[in-house]
Amino acid sequence: MAVLLSLNVGMPVEVDWRGRTVRTGIVKDPVPGPRFVHRLHIDGDGVADTAGHGGPNRAALVYQAGSYDYWRTHFGRDDIAFGALGENFTVDGLADDAVCIGDRFRIGQAEFEVSQPRVTCFRAGIRIGEPQMAALLVAHHRPGFYLRVLREGQVEAGDEIVQIEGGPEHMTVAEIDALLYLPDKPVEQLRRALRIPALSVGWQGSFRDLLDAAEKPTVVSPGWAGFRRLRIARVVAESASIVSLHLQAEDGAALPAARPGQYLTLRVLGAGEPAPVRNYSLSSMPGAAQYRISVKREEHGLISRYLHTAVRPGDWLDAAAPRGEFVLTEAANPVLLISAGVGVTPVLAMLHALAGTEREVWWLHAARRPEEQAFAGEAHEALAKLSRAHEHVFYSAEHRRMDAAALKELGLPAGATAYVCGPAPFMADVRSALADLGIDDVHTELFGALDAITPGVVGEQRVPPHPPPGPVGPGPEVTFARSGLTVPFDPIRSPTVLELAEACDISVRWSCRTGVCHLCVTPLLSGSVSYRPTPLEPPPAGSVLICCARPESELVLDA
Ligand code: FES
3-state secondary structure 66-110: HHHHHHHHHHCCCCCCCCCCCCCEEEECCCCCCCECCCEEEECCE
Question: For position 217, what pLDDT does the model report?
Answer: 67
Interval between CA 85 and ligand 1 midpoint (Å): 19
Instruction: Output DSSP code: residue 384.
Output: H
> Residue 172 in 3-state DSSP?
strand
Three-state SS at 407: helix
225 lines ligand 1 (CB under 6 A): no
Name the phi and psi angles at 257, rounded to 5.
-65, 140
The CA dihedral of 132, 133, 139, 143, to the nearest 10 degrees, is -160
Tell me how far apart the alpha carbons of residues 320 and 522 are, in angstroms, rounded to a whole number.
Answer: 15
- Distance from C-alpha of 488 to C-alpha of 161, rounded to nearest angstrom: 56
Confidence of residue 220 (pLDDT cuts 50, 70, 90): low
CA dihedral 394, 400, 404, 405 (to 10 degrees): -130
Whole-number Å distance, alpha carbon 520 to ligand 1 midpoint, is 5
For residue 218, pLDDT beyond 70: no
Q: Which residues, at least 6 apart from 555, have a Cβ–Cβ distance to it below 8 Å?
A: 476, 477, 478, 479, 489, 497, 524, 526, 527, 528, 529
Rounded average pLDDT over 155-180: 97
Q: Does the C-beta of 516 come closer than 6 Å to ligand 1?
A: yes
Among 132, 450, 545, the mutation site with the greatest number of ligand 1 atoms within 8 A of its Cβ is 545
Candidate from 123, 181, 450, 513 with most ligand 1 atoms within 8 A of CB, to mutate: 513
Cβ 517 under 6 angstroms from ligand 1: yes
**Alpha helices, DSSP H only, in 95-200?**
133-139, 173-181, 187-194
* Residues in contact with 329: Cβ distance below 8 Å, sequence separation at least 6, in sequence order: 417
How far CA 24 is from CA of 347, 438, 456, in Å, comes to: 43, 37, 6
Question: For a pLDDT cut of 70, what percent of the chain falls above it?
Answer: 99
Q: Give residue 219's pLDDT.
A: 60
Confidence bin at 150 (pLDDT 50/70/90): very high
Helix (H) or strand (E) holding 428: helix 424-436
Who contacts 207 (Cβ-Cβ below 8 Å, separation ≥6)? 179, 180, 190, 193, 194, 199
3-state secondary structure (DSSP) of residue 174: helix
- Of the residues 510, 522, 537, which should be mutated to test ligand 1's pocket, given the most ligand atoms within 8 Å of the CB? 510
- Cα Rg for the chain, rounded, in angstroms? 27
Q: Are the C-beta atoms of 382 and 352 separated by less than 8 Å?
A: yes
| Residue 318 exposure: Cα atoms within 13 Å on the Cβ side | 15
Mean pLDDT computed over 23-37: 96
pLDDT digits (tens, 9 = 90+) for 221-279: 788 989 999 999 999 999 889 999 999 999 989 999 999 999 999 999 888 888 889 99
Please state, in angstroms and rounded to a whole number, the distance separating the CA atoms of residues 365 and 207: 38
For the segment 274-325, what is each residue's pLDDT rounded down to a tens digit?
Answer: 888 999 999 998 888 999 999 999 888 888 999 999 999 999 999 999 999 8
Any ligand 1 atom below 6 A from CB of 521:
no
Q: Which residues pair with 372 in a beta bridge?
A: none
Confidence of residue 447 (pLDDT cuts 50, 70, 90): confident
| Average pLDDT along the chain | 94
